[in-house]
């Protein structure tokens, strides 16, 4: 034990070995292959339960200037930015029955967002919309999509209930051909792939999964016809039903309290407990909101991002759990003692680069304090802060859950940034309800399903309904997640091009795939505030398209040199977090215990703000540098 460790109320060595033990019992050789792809027999898990009326229409065989694939925030922002540039000949193709993306699909009871609504909702100054609370919910977010799409007249440009299944470059015509499940053969000069992230539900591969005769669905396709109620709860149809939920990630944490309140009996099958901290939502102070000066949202978003990437000022505008991490760490280090280094964590929706915040934090500390402390000392301090934070989280389970065994089972034993921390003020208390039972599988997960329920440890739990809160594909092939293959010049597919590692320019263009723009595969920005990066990238793409049109150019492709240069940038800025990732309990943050070893498959290591500035400077230069055009 170091001198510093002698002043703390826990034994770091004991915690280190406990964490190791909990990780080891969860490591699986199968990695991502422990999950089933939702297709074939399982494709009903991705059917759309929210469509009110099935659209019928003739196949579309038109040619457009631009096709945008995806009607979530990425697609809607792209449409808005194209309109702003006067580029009106576009179509947005969306699988769902309306705009909304993630929020269209994830409208399970309790669904809400942990990023402050004042920075999460894009274009608030343009729409004059005032979010009701600091943290918004699914219903308000879907309402906001209506406001955005009305503001930019996007509805008539949308093809809803339409699933793209092939995108192919037509070399002779220099156009893209987009085929859909509605027999559309649409052509477009440009295609924007705004497919989103965490969009493809996954199921655990369990023995007997096909045998279950009861009702079942995935949380991202909530069956309100079966449960009753809406995203605010009141699931009245469950009052005489026995329900099982599999999974205890961020989604389950939000819907379990509602299931607990309504079901006759609820079994929560847990493999790994989430870290559950306080949420503390507040009503919007309308006077304060309305008094904000022009440009406030950009300033606020940048201020927030600055805190997360170690570029912050003294003014903390968002002032929440995210930014507090950095303020507190700084305060603690200034005093050169670990006692003040609390609250490490609060890293909520950090789905892409799960190392980013921890890494940003280390970088910040290194930059500012390297003179005074060694790298080893910093790592140790950060670890102690993490232990302290997680001890508090574990103590919260003891404080809120009546049964000591259940409380113990609900305690997370891993570093905070190994998994996505959760924030909820009713989840832990739900286990005090007489009708709720936690079935802790001690890291093993559910392995078997019978015709009537779930079998665990030789016991059968008979249930009327099994709800899968088992998450979404991460780390699988990009085209598989999109649901369609893209074939570029010479017929080469994206899967073939990226099989040994991503290759893009700015994370947006890829050589061999001209006139295409990608928002999601990687080598782009990482921010917890996803809509911020979608906003920046969509403005960037709209700028490029406007430039091409005004110069009467019809072709744009990343040059070989530019793409190689960008890969070098990504690799040189990638930070090696392998050992941290390996020490983590498995999950989608560390590729199910098999961390990425290819430095090209990273996000931009300089941080989102640096990336946004890089794009801005590139636009200012006004030469479309790195792009071949004609």
Residues that bind ligand NDP in the complex, under the rule CB under 6 A? 113-114, 198, 204, 246-252, 254, 269, 271-272, 348-349, 351, 420, 445-446, 469-472, 587-588
Min. distance of Cβ 322 from ligand NDP in angstroms?
12
Give 272 or 581: the residue with its C-beta nearer to ligand NDP.
Answer: 272
| Whole-angstrom distance, CA of residue 594 vs CA of residue 251 | 23
- Residue 533 token pair: 């990066």
Min. distance of Cβ 121 from ligand NDP in angstroms?
14
Min. distance of Cβ 445 from ligand NDP in angstroms?
3
Give 26 or 189: the residue with its C-beta nearer to ligand NDP.
Answer: 26
How much of the chain is helix, strand and coil, in % rounded to 5? 40, 15, 45
Min. distance of Cβ 252 from ligand NDP in angstroms?
6
Q: Is 586 exposed, middle or buried (0-12, 13-18, 19+ CB in 10 A)?
A: buried
- Residue 133 token pair: 């609370």
Give 114 or 464: the residue with its C-beta nearer to ligand NDP.
Answer: 114
| Whole-angstrom distance, CA of residue 22 vs CA of residue 123 | 44
| Whole-angstrom distance, CA of residue 263 vs CA of residue 430 | 12
Report residue 132 CA to chain centroid gap. 23
What pairing do the DSSP bridges indicate for beta strands 422-423 and 276-277? parallel
| Whole-angstrom distance, CA of residue 323 vs CA of residue 346 | 9
Give 507 or 587: the residue with its C-beta nearer to ligand NDP.
Answer: 587
Min. distance of Cβ 102 from ligand NDP in angstroms?
8
Angstrom CA distances, 537 to 81, 219, 619, stand at: 10, 29, 12
The answer to whether 109 and 229 have CB atoms below 8 angstroms apart is yes
Give 157 or 227: the residue with its C-beta nearer to ligand NDP.
Answer: 227
* DSSP label at residue 275: P
| Whole-angstrom distance, CA of residue 470 vs CA of residue 221 | 12
Give 272 or 547: the residue with its C-beta nearer to ligand NDP.
Answer: 272
Question: Which of 234, 244, 223, 180 is closest to 464 using CA atoms?
Answer: 244
Give 22 or 302: the residue with its C-beta nearer to ligand NDP.
Answer: 22
Residues 6+ apart with CB under 8 A from 181: 162, 163, 165
Min. distance of Cβ 539 from ligand NDP in angstroms?
24
Report residue 353 CA to chain centroid gap. 10
Start-end of H helices in 450-493? 478-482
| Whole-angstrom distance, CA of residue 65 vs CA of residue 187 | 9
| Whole-angstrom distance, CA of residue 509 vs CA of residue 504 | 5
Question: Helix, strand, or coil here: 423?
Answer: strand
Give 142 or 446: the residue with its C-beta nearer to ligand NDP.
Answer: 446
Min. distance of Cβ 273 from ligand NDP in angstroms?
8
Min. distance of Cβ 133 from ligand NDP in angstroms?
13
Q: Is 598 exposed, middle or buried (0-12, 13-18, 19+ CB in 10 A)?
A: exposed
| CA angle, 496 then 566 then 485, to 5° | 25
Min. distance of Cβ 584 from ligand NDP in angstroms?
11
| Whole-angstrom distance, CA of residue 182 vs CA of residue 374 | 61
Give 203 or 558: the residue with its C-beta nearer to ligand NDP.
Answer: 203
Give 351 or 501: the residue with its C-beta nearer to ligand NDP.
Answer: 351
Report residue 339 CA to chain centroid gap. 32
Min. distance of Cβ 493 from ligand NDP in angstroms?
27
* DSSP label at residue 112: B
Min. distance of Cβ 42 from ligand NDP in angstroms?
15
Give 247 or 257: the residue with its C-beta nearer to ligand NDP.
Answer: 247
SS3 readout for 166-216: EEEEECCCCEEEEEECCCCEEEEEEEEECCCCCCCEEEECCECCCCCCCEE
The answer to whether 224 and 101 have CB atoms below 8 angstroms apart is no
Min. distance of Cβ 328 from ligand NDP in angstroms?
22
Strand partners, 207: 448
Main-chain dihedrals φ then ψ at residue 106, nearest 5 degrees: -90, 80
Min. distance of Cβ 48 from ligand NDP in angstroms?
18
Give 446 or 562: the residue with its C-beta nearer to ligand NDP.
Answer: 446
Min. distance of Cβ 473 from ligand NDP in angstroms?
10
Strand partners, 43: none
Min. distance of Cβ 433 from ligand NDP in angstroms?
20
Strand partners, 547: none
The answer to whether 229 and 236 have CB atoms below 8 angstroms apart is yes
């Amino acid at each position: 034990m170091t001198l510093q460790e002698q002043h703390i109320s826990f034994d770091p060595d004991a915690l280190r070995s406990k964490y190791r033990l909990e990780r080891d019992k969860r490591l699986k050789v199968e990695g991502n292959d422990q999950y089933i792809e939702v297709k074939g027999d399982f494709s009903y898990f991705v059917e759309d339960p929210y469509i009110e009326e099935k659209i019928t229409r003739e196949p579309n065989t038109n040619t457009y200037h631009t096709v945008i694939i995806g009607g979530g925030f990425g697609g809607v922002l792209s449409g808005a930015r194209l309109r702003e540039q006067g580029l009106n000949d576009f179509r947005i193709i969306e699988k769902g029955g309306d705009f909304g993306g993630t929020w269209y699909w994830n409208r399970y009871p309790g669904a809400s967002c942990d990023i402050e609504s004042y920075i999460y909702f894009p274009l608030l100054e343009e729409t004059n919309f005032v979010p009701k609370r600091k943290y918004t919910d699914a219903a308000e977010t879907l309402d906001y999509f209506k406001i955005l799409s009305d503001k930019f007249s996007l509805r008539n440009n949308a093809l809803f209930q339409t699933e793209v299944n092939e995108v192919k470059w037509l070399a002779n015509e220099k156009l893209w051909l987009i085929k859909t499940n509605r027999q559309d053969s649409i052509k477009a000069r440009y295609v924007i792939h705004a497919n989103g992230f965490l969009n493809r539900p996954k199921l655990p591969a369990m023995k007997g999964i096909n045998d279950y005769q009861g009702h079942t669905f995935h949380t991202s396709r909530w069956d309100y016809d079966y449960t009753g109620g809406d995203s605010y709860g009141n699931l009245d149809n469950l009052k005489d039903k026995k329900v099982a939920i599999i999974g205890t990630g961020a989604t389950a944490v939000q819907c379990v309290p509602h299931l607990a309140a309504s079901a006759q009996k609820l079994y929560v099958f847990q493999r790994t407990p989430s870290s559950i901290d306080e949420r503390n939502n507040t009503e919007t102070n309308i006077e304060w909101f309305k008094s904000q000066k022009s440009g406030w949202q950009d300033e606020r978003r940048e201020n927030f991002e600055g805190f997360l990437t170690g570029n912050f000022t003294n003014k903390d505008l968002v002032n929440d759990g995210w930014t507090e991490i950095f303020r507190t760490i700084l305060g603690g280090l200034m005093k050169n003692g670990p006692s003040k280094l609390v609250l490490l964590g609060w890293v909520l929706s950090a789905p892409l680069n799960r190392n980013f915040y921890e890494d940003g934090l280390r970088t910040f500390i290194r930059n500012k304090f390297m003179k005074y402390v060694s790298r080893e000392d910093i790592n140790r301090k950060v670890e102690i802060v993490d232990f302290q934070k997680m001890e508090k989280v574990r103590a919260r389970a003891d404080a809120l859950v009546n049964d000591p065994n259940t409380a113990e089972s609900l305690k997370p034993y891993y570093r905070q940034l190994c998994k996505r921390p959760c924030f909820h003020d009713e989840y832990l208390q739900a286990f005090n309800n007489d009708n709720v039972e936690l079935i802790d599988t001690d890291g093993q997960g559910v392995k078997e399903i019978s015709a009537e329920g779930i079998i665990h440890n030789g016991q059968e739990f008979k249930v009327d309904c099994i709800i899968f809160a088992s998450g979404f594909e991460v780390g699988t092939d990009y085209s598989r997640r999109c649901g369609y293959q893209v074939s570029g010049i010479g017929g080469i597919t994206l899967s073939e091009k990226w099989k040994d590692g991503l290759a893009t320019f700015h994370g947006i263009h890829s050589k061999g795939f001209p006139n295409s723009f990608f928002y999601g595969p990687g080598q782009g920005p990482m921010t917890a505030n996803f809509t911020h990066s979608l906003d920046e990238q969509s403005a960037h793409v709209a700028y490029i398209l406007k430039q091409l049109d005004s110069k009467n150019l019809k072709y744009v492709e990343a040059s070989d040199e530019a793409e190689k240069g960008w890969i070098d940038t990504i690799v040189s800025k990638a930070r090696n977090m392998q050992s941290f990732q390996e020490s983590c309990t498995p999950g989608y943050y560390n590729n199910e215990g098999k961390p990425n070893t290819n430095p090209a498959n990273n996000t931009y290591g300089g941080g989102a703000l640096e990336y946004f500035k890089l794009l801005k400077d590139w636009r200012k230069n006004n030469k479309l540098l790195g792009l071949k055009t004609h």
